[in-house]
Amino acid sequence: MNFNPPEDTIDIINGLRQFIDKVVIPLEEENSQLLYNERNYYLENGKRHPKVEELRKIVRMESAKAGFYTMFGAQELGGEELGPITSMLVQEAIGKYYANRKLIDAVVIPSPFTNGLTPVLKGLKQELKDRYLEGIRTGEKTLCFGLTEPDAGSDVWGIKTKAVKEGNEWVINGTKQWITNAPYADYCMLFAVTNPELQAKRRGGITCFFVETKSEGFNVDSVIPVMGELGGDAGIISLENLRVPEENIIGELDNGFSRAMNGINNGRLGMSGKCIGSAQWALKQAVDYANIRQTFGKKIGEHQMVQNMLAECAMDIYAARNMALHCAWKCENTKTQPTKEISMVKAFCTEMVGRVYDRAMQIHGGIGLSNELKLEAGYRHSRILRIPDGTSEIHRRTIAKSLLKGDLNFN
């Protein structure tokens, strides 16, 4: 494989950086007291301040106008359908140059399931595409992915939310939890059991529905605060006799699980790319500090223990970056998805970035524990990434299953 980034990808990264510097950074600077003060950023109920939501919407819509917000979406949905290599390298660049910024994360470049042209939407009936896609494509409207439940996280076959057919409608009852963007979304891709017998055999029986979150019976009960924050992105949804028309089924009846997995691999590679970039940002902070800070009459970069930590960071980043590039190349050049490799990359990269931030904070000493340099925020965020899109343990399970079935190929 050729490790040189494609020229088109370099142009995209350069254009994206110009967009961020011209449009996003000025917005952040003008609203820094709102964006970087937790007490201002969140309301008492844990939701983001309406002004924050307005700023995020501005960035989404400006990004869509510039062509960045839709560039990884399927062409049939109005996107450019750029591939895994570009996705990984673009996300790396964002993490490397703009780590831990409030208006960039999951707004300039959409996530696979909460913003923008998620591949799940390819299963919409044409009438619904005509009605809803424009708002989603322009960044005016956002989505949430209603799959996880209190007793069904990694094991999605364990969901209990049920949909019962009544005439031309489905009546849905149940609870969803840890649903990213639920407190803010306009639409939900909602998963429910429609055939308990198939579900029990793990052969289907789960259906995906497209739902407007303002519908009667769809309630966001609360926001779930996360590590070190006064609020969060995720919420708890309760469904009480929610009525959804038959035509709002996404894809095929009883085959929603395939929809759940559609596009998730690109998302995992994108997340891995952002981890790699963010780790590079953290290492640069540590190197710069090691060349300035003095103890015992010399720069701390001259101490062997500090040198060791810097070297360990570099080794981690180099290994992660080459793993991710090779995996992205396989995704683009092989007929079948390299499931084993994607799991290895996602688990390794999300764990790697935590190790790098931990060492970078240690090198900074006391100042690393403050958030003056945003290292502490990056450390918290990196810890979170080991859980969504498949925990590290679930990915190790996937890797081991592939090995035990005879997949010992590492080419």
CATH of residue 200: 2.40.110.10
The reply to whether 362 and 330 lie within a common domain is yes
Q: CATH number for the domain including 11?
A: 1.10.540
| C-alpha pair distances (Å), 233 with each of 24, 48, 178, 229, 335 | 20, 8, 9, 11, 36
3-state secondary structure of 290: helix
| C-alpha pair distances (Å), 345 with each of 265, 323, 387, 393 | 11, 6, 14, 13
| pLDDT at residue 263 is higher than 90 | no
| pLDDT at residue 389 is higher than 90 | no
Residue 199 in tokens:
């579900």
Closest CA to 204 of 191, 217, 216: 191
The proportion of the chain whose per-residue pLDDT surpasses 70, expressed as a percent, equals 99
Examine residue 411 and state whether it is found in any structural domain, yes or no: no
The reply to whether 309 and 276 lie within a common domain is yes
Give the end of a domain, one of 255, 283, 318. 255
**Pairing verdict, β 143-146 and 187-193:** parallel
Examine residue 2 and state whether it is found in any structural domain, yes or no: no
Give the end of a domain, one of 92, 121, 137. 137
Residue 155 in tokens:
């094991």
Examine residue 96 and state whether it is found in any structural domain, yes or no: yes
Give the end of a domain, one of 102, 137, 172. 137
pLDDT-derived band at 245 (thresholds 50, 70, 90) equals very high
Q: Please return the burial class of 161, using the count of CB atoms within 10 Å of its CB with bins 0-12, 13-18 and 19+.
A: buried
E strand or H helix at 186? none
The reply to whether 115 and 170 lie within a common domain is no
Closest CA to 82 of 273, 256, 259, 250: 273
∠279-281-283 over CA atoms, to 5°? 70
The reply to whether 132 and 185 lie within a common domain is no
Alpha-carbon span 240 to 9, nearest angstrom: 47
- Tally the domains of the chain: 3
Alpha-carbon span 354 to 386, nearest angstrom: 9
The reply to whether 277 and 396 lie within a common domain is yes
Examine residue 410 and state whether it is found in any structural domain, yes or no: no
Question: At 9, which amino acid appears?
Answer: T
Q: CATH number for the domain including 308?
A: 1.20.140.10
Please tell me the pTM assigned to this model. Answer: 0.94
pLDDT digits (tens, 9 = 90+) for 209-240: 999 999 999 999 999 999 989 999 999 999 99
Domain that holds residue 29: 7-137
